[in-house]
Structure 1
Amino acid sequence: MATLSAPNNHSPNEDAEALRKAFEGWGTDEKTVITILGHRNSNQIQQIRKAYEGIYNEDLIKRLESEIKGDFEKAVYRWILEPAERDAVLANVAIKSGKNYNVIVEISLFSPPKSS
């Protein structure tokens, strides 16, 4: 199994700007999206989301939804969400589809307990 390492010296502002450039023109530069978001950990992705919104006054998730489609959109969308957000989306999809409740069981079994 391959592992990706997130760079320690990434700049959220530079990543946000590179993503914006990837969205310009005809079509989206999906390779750039993968290169940036696929090589960042959850904390770094959240920093990029905040930087993107701060620079462009636009939600990065909404922009990605308008730029990419299909399975790639689902994968990227779920990758950039925080774990709790991702679990909520997966549970919602499972409930609406009425087919795969195993997702809900897995979320409930493997989610860390809340501390009080």
Structure 2
Amino acid sequence: MHNPKILSWLSKRAGISEEQAHCLWLRAVRRAELYFDETERATPAYWQFALRELRTALDQIGRQHQWHHDVPAHVPQWLTEVAEWQANYLMNSMLIWRNVTLASSRAWANAWQQSRAA
């Protein structure tokens, strides 16, 4: 598994370590593996999808850091942590259902194409 050459630059820009960026890259590749068939892997579209997923994850991290700076000083810390937990929980649940929907619809689309070809 190769890393993008700009991974260290992207991690510095997002304000995270290279190890965290590497973990995000591996997660992006796993998402791309769910989206693409084995025959479509290692194609330019596959790597573009993985890189787009990485950039999305890094942008979310950047927005989270920015969000913490925008909170007024009089708001208790526990309240910001609860709000962040809720936002992360909702976002993750939406992403999981998105991946489930994509994976299940791909199987149906493949079966439909095979039935039309036969």
TM-score, L = length of structure 2: 0.23
User: Which structure has the bigger radius of gyration?
Assistant: 2
Answer 1 or 2: which has greater helix percent.
2
Greater RCO structure (CA 8 Å; 6+ sep): 2
